[in-house]
Amino acid sequence: MKKKPFILALSLLLMVLVTGCSTKEEHISIQKLENKTYHFEAYKQEIETRDAEKAKGILKNADWREYVLEKDHPKADFIFYFNDDKNEGNIAVYYVWVNPDDHVTELTRDQHKKHVKLNRDDSKTILDLLNE
């Protein structure tokens, strides 16, 4: 008789552990330009994997082109990277410029050697991630 409550409690504990382990969260570091200097805005620990994976998919499938950043180009509005990618040795730092008139973003990566201008939908996804 005493085994039933023990087995029930153990089962509930295992279900909680399995559920808790299955909801992976992404870690992202963000710096935001404020008054001509960058401020560490967030080390976001509660980015859901699906949101991060969607953003990573956009960045991976973007039409990146060779680019040379001009010396007088304004500073990026955001700088960010996915911390979890550091462990895999393939970290990419993204620099984001927001064009509020067109509702689009422009990004560079690889020390400003690659450039892409995202469409409105993809820009919104990236900005939502950065402003959560």
- Which structural domains are found in the chain, ordered by start? 24-131 (2.60.40)
Across-strand partners of 98?
Answer: 105
Mean per-residue pLDDT for 1-30?
Answer: 60
| pLDDT > 80? residue 88 | no
Please give the span between the terminal C-alpha atoms of the chain, in angstroms, as a whole number. 50
| pLDDT > 60? residue 115 | yes
3-state secondary structure of 128: helix
3-state secondary structure of 103: coil
pTM comes to: 0.74
Task: Indicate the residue type of 89.
Answer: G
State the pLDDT at residue 46: 63
Query: Residue written as tokens 């552990």?
Result: 17
3-state secondary structure of 132: coil
Phi and psi (nearest 5°) for 75? Answer: -65, 150
State the pLDDT at residue 85: 64
Task: Indicate the residue type of 26.
Answer: E
Q: Burial level of 29, CB count in 10 A (0-12/13-18/19+)?
A: middle
State the pLDDT at residue 22: 43
Whole-number mean pLDDT of the chain?
Answer: 80
State the pLDDT at residue 130: 85
Phi and psi (nearest 5°) for 61? Answer: -90, 0
Give the tens place of pLDDT for each residue, 21-74. 444 566 788 888 888 888 776 666 567 778 888 999 999 999 999 999 888 889
CA–CA dist 100, 132 (Å, integer)? 18
State the pLDDT at residue 59: 94
State the pLDDT at residue 83: 78
